[in-house]
Structure 1
Amino acid sequence: MTERHDDFTQPTHFLDWRDPAVLAFTDAAVRGTAHPVDRARLIFLAVRDQLWYDPYTLSTHPADYRASSIARRDYGWCVPKAVLLTAACRAAGIPARLGFADVRNHLQTDTLRARMGGSDLFVYHGYSELYLDGRWVKATPAFNKELCARFGVPPIDFDGVHDALMHPYSADGSRFMDYVTDHGWYPELPLAEIFAALRAEYGSDLIDSNDIAAHTPEDTFTR
């Protein structure tokens, strides 16, 4: 069956791009730029750097994972940031969908590892797939450039042509991220599936406590 790319421009429950907050975020990011590749690049940069990556802000409330809610915040972990990137690209007329992969983080701190039940595997890491110039391109806007600068990790750049995924090595040659399993793409956020995977990998306390621990950016990566 032929894939209809306009199916990936429609609003959904979580990718609710017709909300004024998502439209305002998108308009501010693209600044009147017309070409889809340029629009996608600008939206990627806005999501990457205007929302501070914070893996400790895991909410149990489904409403917090709607693009309209995420666009009103200045922080998020990989899944909310991928939701906003996908929704904003749809708002800009760019077919977009969500993707998920399990990745292993070699620069994880003891603080974050303890919160994740001793695991260094990030299950259902979120990214976006954007349809540009006749092909699907992957992009993950998770780590903002300021956080990357603190820990010697180059920020992920997206040119609209090549996949922009996690770097396997940091700037000093240390192992950084390994992609272990790719779960493929989704037209809508599979939140129940994600929560089930998080409970299975890290235990129920991480999901069910809804308790955000006190932390600093230094608790995210080792130096």
Structure 2
Amino acid sequence: MESKGVPLSEGENQLAFDRSLCEESRLPAVEFDGVHDAFLSRVDLLGRPFIEYIEKYEPQPDFPFLWLRERLLPIWGEKRAWLNDEDSKGHVMASGFVF
């Protein structure tokens, strides 16, 4: 599969998040090499639990907005205008999907 991201030199990594923000939040910076998955660290820089991956999903060609919305609404309800069906109608995603 051809990468559509920024080409990286062999062995070169790029930060997935702003380094100063990571340091301020006491989180390890996430590096991405353009080939392998980048994961958030399970612990922060102080060794405290930070994130736990409890389910894995197949890679998606674009952000799965509708799938995520279906799962968030029962938990959070309609709290933001941009989660409203009417507000997102006609929006075109990078993949070409039109709401």
Structure 2 length-normalised TM: 0.59
Please give the secondary structure, in 1, of the residue aligned with 2:54: strand
Q: How far apart, CA to CA, are the structure 2 residues paired with 1:162 and 1:188?
A: 18
Higher RCO by CA contacts (8 Å cutoff, separation 6 or greater) = 1
The CA deviation string for residues 19-61 of structure 1, in whole angstroms up to 9 with x for no partner, is xxxxxxx7xxx6xxxxx5428x56x44xxxxxxxxxxxxxxxx
What is the alpha-carbon distance in structure 1 between the residues aligned to residue 37 and residue 57 of structure 2?
16
Q: 1:192 aligns with which of 66, 69, 82?
A: 66
The alpha-carbon distance between structure 1 residues 160 and 185, as it changes in their structure 2 partners (threshold 3 A), is closer
- Deviations for 1:59-117, whole angstroms, at most 9, x for unmatched residues? xxxxxxxxxxxxxxxxxxxxxxxxxxxxxxxxxxxxxxxxxxxxxxxxxxxxxxxxxxx
> 1:166: how far off?
0.6
- Equivalent runs, 1:79-98 vs 2, <5 Å: none
Partner Cα distance (2:75, 2:9) in 1 = 38
8 A Cα contact 1:38 1:160, kept in partner: no
SS at match of 1:171: coil
Give, as a single letter, the amino acid of the residue that structure 1 aligns with 2:9: D
Match for residue 144 of structure 1 among 18, 25, 28: 18
Structure 2 residue 38 is matched with structure 1 residue 164: yes
1:176 aligned onto 2:43: no
Aligned-pair CA distance for 1:178 = 0.6
The DSSP-based 3-state class of the residue aligned with 1:205 is coil
Q: How does 1:4-15 map to 2 (within 5 A)?
A: 5=1
TM-score with structure 1 length normalisation?
Answer: 0.30
Identity of aligned residues (%): 26
Stretches of structure 2 that go unaligned for 5 or more consecutive residues are 88-99
Q: Note the aligned Cα RMSD (angstroms).
A: 3.1
The answer to whether residue 79 in structure 2 is matched with residue 205 in structure 1 is: yes
Relative to total residues, which structure has the larger strand share, 1 or 2?
A: 1
- In 2, Cα distance between equivalents of 1:187 and 1:151: 30
